[in-house]
Chain A
Amino acid sequence: MTAPDAPDVLTPVLTSRWAEERSWTLETYERTGGYTALRTALAGHPDQLIQLCKDSGLRGRGGAGFPTGMKWSFIPQGSSGPGAKPKYLVINADEGEPGTCKDIPTMMADPHSLIEGCVITSYAIRAKFCAIYVRGEALHPIRRLRAAVAEAYAAGYLGTDILGTGFDLDIVVHAGAGAYICGEETALLDSLEGRRGQPRLKPPFPATAGLYASPTVVNNVETIASVPYIVAGGAEWFRSMGSEKSPGPKIYSVSGHVERPGQYEAPMGITLRTLLELAGGMKDGIPLKFWTPGGSSTPMFTAEHLDIPLDFEGAAGAGSMLGTTAVQVFNETVSVPWAVMKWTEFYKHESCGKCTPCREGTYWLVQILERMVHGEGTESDVETMLDICDNILGRSFCALGDGATSPITSGIKYFRQEFLDLIAEQPAVARPEQLADVELSGASA
């Protein structure tokens, strides 16, 4: 069914080392070709690397899909003006979007690919300091990364005069402290500066005023871990996977009601139908009801969308977003209003409180959804929620507020009747005390 030149269904690149014995060690990494791309990169001019990244078409893997090479080229260079300031590379490893679980296994299993990517990227953008901001709950990845950084220093891949080229770089592995909002790049920068993690108004963008108000590139783990492979394979090799506008391999994290959840690395554009086949189909044969293409902030899809190509254009064309390719699959036993309520409780908890529409809106949405799910909804609740969503979307500094509206608006779009049914005192999930009532009334009847 695949064309002669088409790549295989699964193409392990970033995940290729994961099954190696002691995959996280420098020894394994070097034995399997690690740190050779660094030598190639350091022999070139930084601008050649930025050009290579642009040619490869690599797009950010953290959710937004911004072209990585273009982001790097926004960093002002030169010996005067803004170009004279120190530049920084910050890695966003604050993985916390519900459903997303690709960066944590990457950092656990193959921390050196991220570190090699950091050195190459820092050289390209002329940064001498790089911080890897890992969410604090990701203890084992932090442990592995720190051990790998120490190994890289000892081997001369980090520190001063790296491999005798005169290039210096320090990397700090920075543990966060439990705040989803810090996955938003400007909130992450504030947090890294020792402040509350609250987003900044953009512009100015981090490329001109990021960490310590200096030019900064903020990239996701998977993005930067791809860089050594692009240097080793070239832009054409990278583009031999995926589509014209969404090239390269991507880790799809399949979770939920499937027989074999797990990490599947495929060329961009794989469909849920194929992923489900690989994952052994729906668990216990119970049919699919709804799924997210890339985390809870991406509008949900249904069984109608099995053949949507999961790349940036495909997901957007069908009214959602690719996000982090966190494919959460839910079967027919799950109530959509209940799932939406749980996600909304999450956004309410994680709203940083800076912008009123998001802070107050998520608070009220939770009240309405909890009431509805408990069978106490009113006729106007659906419209009220859509109205609140309309007042959040696009009206806050960062995308958390926008993301909070996605499950609600998409849930109502595809499953409006299920919300309306709740109004007739039909709890979506019977509460234990209600179950007790049922049993009591059953016994007395």
Chain B
Amino acid sequence: MTLPEGTPEKRPGPAAPAERTWEAQPPPSPVSPVFDEVTRQRAKEVIARYPVARSALLPLLHLVQAREGYVSQAGIRFCAEALELTTAEVSAVATFYTMYKRTPCGEHLVSVCTNTLCAALGGDDIYARLSERLGIGHEETVGEPGTTGSLTLEHAECLAACDLAPVIQVNYEYYDNQTTESALELVDALRRGEKPHPTRGAPLTDLRTVELELAGFTEDPVVAAAAVAAGSASPETLRGNGIAAERGWAAPALPAEPPALPPLPEKP
């Protein structure tokens, strides 16, 4: 490292910058036109759910992602304006969480669990084969983002379905007990524009619809009710129950009437 000569006081100051004129920029529009009146109304509803407005930030980021397929700069500004935060504050949050994507995603998001247990049972191979078949890596997209059959691939950390390993999620719906063959069939079908039914969860829609649901909204009440009723119990989930029923095992019976609550503790 070289030090400049002389004391700071005696050093020549930097040359005065050349005169520049700044062209007046038009002020940014208050809200990007992408975010229509419906979205703005929904943002208000989300904010109204919480005692403190800022708690709405995570759902709002899901909401803007539902609109655009990722969290864009316009989306960040929309959230910032809705919550009276700076865009820096919103960016800091958006970049922290894995589920907020910074580039446009495909129609579907395919998440392959490659955490230890799934990986040991074949998750690593599944991810490698899918990556090879689709010609993309982690958080990359095949196809024009948002169009039918476009896919974004990611390797995910534990998806909390370890008894059903190896697991894949498509738009956060579960496809359990996968093999490399079943996983390849799944992505091939998705690429063709088909929507294979998940093992557990609602009929497959697309990433944007699911992001809207995460924000707390559904478009069609009939579809939403059907989604709630879609299957959830796998044989694995019910294994202990099944064995208990078979062998006549049960928890000690609950009393017919609930026992009296304990007396009020003495105040110290």
- Flag if A136 contacts B62 (CB, 8 Å): yes
Closest to A280 in B: B239
Q: Using Cβ atoms and an 8 Å threshold, which residues of chain A touch B235? A: 262
Q: Using Cβ atoms and an 8 Å threshold, which residues of chain A touch B57? A: 194-195
- Flag if B99 contacts A136 (CB, 8 Å): yes
A339 CB-CB contact with B under 8 Å: yes
Once the chains are docked, how many angstroms separate the CA of A266 from the CA of B111? 32
Within 8 A of A (CB), among B217-236: 225, 227-230, 232-233, 235-236
A208 CB-CB contact with B under 8 Å: no
Count the B residues whose beta carbon is within 8 Å of the partner chain — how many? 84
Checking A98, A254, A350 against B116 with a beta-carbon cut-off of 8 angstroms, the contacting residue is A98
- Flag if A177 contacts B162 (CB, 8 Å): no
Q: Using Cβ atoms and an 8 Å threshold, which residues of chain A touch B83? A: 194
Within 8 A of B (CB), among A181-202: 191-197
Within 8 A of B (CB), among A268-286: 278-279
Q: Using Cβ atoms and an 8 Å threshold, which residues of chain A touch B98? A: 177-179
- The verdict on A19 contacting B233 (CB below 8 Å), with A12-B241, A98-B117 known, is yes
- Flag if B228 contacts A139 (CB, 8 Å): no
Closest to B128 in A: A432
Interface-located stretch among B10-18, B22-30, B142-150, B152-160:
B152-160
Distance in Å: Cβ of A231 to nearest Cβ of chain B? 6
A245 CB-CB contact with B under 8 Å: no
- Flag if B160 contacts A100 (CB, 8 Å): yes
Distance in Å: Cβ of A263 to nearest Cβ of chain B? 5
A176 CB-CB contact with B under 8 Å: yes
Checking A98, A139, A231 against B172 with a beta-carbon cut-off of 8 angstroms, the contacting residue is A139
- Flag if A146 contacts B216 (CB, 8 Å): yes
A22 CB-CB contact with B under 8 Å: yes
B179 CB-CB contact with A under 8 Å: no
B119 CB-CB contact with A under 8 Å: yes
- Flag if A16 contacts B202 (CB, 8 Å): no
Q: How many pairs, one residue from A and one from B, have CB atoms within 8 Å of each other in the complex?
A: 289
Q: Using Cβ atoms and an 8 Å threshold, which residues of chain B touch A103? A: 160
Closest to B85 in A: A194
- Flag if B116 contacts A194 (CB, 8 Å): no
- Flag if B228 contacts A147 (CB, 8 Å): yes
Distance in Å: Cβ of B105 to nearest Cβ of chain A? 13
Q: Using Cβ atoms and an 8 Å threshold, which residues of chain A touch B62? A: 136, 175, 177
- Flag if A196 contacts B160 (CB, 8 Å): no
Q: Using Cβ atoms and an 8 Å threshold, which residues of chain A touch B264? A: 45, 47-48, 51
A334 CB-CB contact with B under 8 Å: yes
- Flag if B52 contacts A262 (CB, 8 Å): no
Distance in Å: Cβ of A262 to nearest Cβ of chain B? 3
Within 8 A of B (CB), among A367-422: none
B206 CB-CB contact with A under 8 Å: no
Once the chains are docked, how many angstroms separate the CA of A279 from the CA of B245? 15
Closest to A198 in B: B96
Interface-located stretch among A155-163, A234-242, A303-311, A313-321:
A234-242
- The verdict on A262 contacting B237 (CB below 8 Å), with A10-B243, A44-B261 known, is yes
- Flag if B239 contacts A98 (CB, 8 Å): no
Once the chains are docked, how many angstroms separate the CA of A144 from the CA of B228? 6
Within 8 A of A (CB), among B86-107: 92-93, 96-100
Closest to A43 in B: B261
- Flag if B240 contacts A229 (CB, 8 Å): no
B262 CB-CB contact with A under 8 Å: yes
Checking B100, B228, B233 against A18 with a beta-carbon cut-off of 8 angstroms, the contacting residue is B233
Checking B55, B120, B244 against A12 with a beta-carbon cut-off of 8 angstroms, the contacting residue is B244
Interface-located stretch among A60-68, A341-349, A356-364, A436-444:
A341-349
Once the chains are docked, how many angstroms separate the CA of A31 from the CA of B227? 23
Q: Using Cβ atoms and an 8 Å threshold, which residues of chain B touch A352? A: 96
Once the chains are docked, how many angstroms separate the CA of A36 from the CA of B258? 9
Once the chains are docked, how many angstroms separate the CA of A49 from the CA of B160? 32
A222 CB-CB contact with B under 8 Å: no
B190 CB-CB contact with A under 8 Å: no
Closest to A264 in B: B240
Q: Using Cβ atoms and an 8 Å threshold, which residues of chain A touch B233? A: 18-19, 23, 105, 108-109
**Residue of A195, A231, A334 contacting most chain B CB atoms (<10 Å):** A195
A168 CB-CB contact with B under 8 Å: no
Q: Using Cβ atoms and an 8 Å threshold, which residues of chain A touch B241? A: 12, 15-16, 18-19, 265
- Flag if B162 contacts A328 (CB, 8 Å): yes
Once the chains are docked, how many angstroms separate the CA of A278 from the CA of B241? 11
- The verdict on A96 contacting B262 (CB below 8 Å), with A195-B93, A263-B240 known, is no
Once the chains are docked, how many angstroms separate the CA of A22 from the CA of B228? 10
B31 CB-CB contact with A under 8 Å: no
A72 CB-CB contact with B under 8 Å: no
Checking B128, B162, B232, B242 against A24 with a beta-carbon cut-off of 8 angstroms, the contacting residue is B232
Q: Using Cβ atoms and an 8 Å threshold, which residues of chain A touch B59? A: 174-175
Q: Using Cβ atoms and an 8 Å threshold, which residues of chain A touch B210? A: 139
Interface-located stretch among B32-40, B181-189, B248-256:
B248-256
- Flag if B238 contacts A101 (CB, 8 Å): no
Contact string, A136-173, partner B, CB cutoff 8 A, digits 1/0?
A: 11111011101100000000000000000000000011
- Flag if B255 contacts A98 (CB, 8 Å): no
Distance in Å: Cβ of A397 to nearest Cβ of chain B? 16
Q: Using Cβ atoms and an 8 Å threshold, which residues of chain B touch A105? A: 232-233, 237
- Flag if A137 contacts B169 (CB, 8 Å): yes
Distance in Å: Cβ of B115 to nearest Cβ of chain A? 5
Can you list 6 A-B pairs, Cβ within 8 angstroms, ordered by A?
Answer: A11-B252, A19-B233, A101-B161, A143-B228, A237-B255, A257-B121
Instruction: Known A-B contacts: A11-B252, A232-B254. Give 16 more (CB < 8 A).
Output: A12-B251, A51-B263, A96-B157, A99-B117, A108-B232, A139-B171, A140-B202, A175-B62, A175-B215, A193-B54, A193-B55, A194-B58, A231-B258, A263-B240, A328-B162, A342-B114
Q: 4 closest pairs, A vs B, by CB?
A: A262-B239, A178-B98, A194-B57, A177-B97
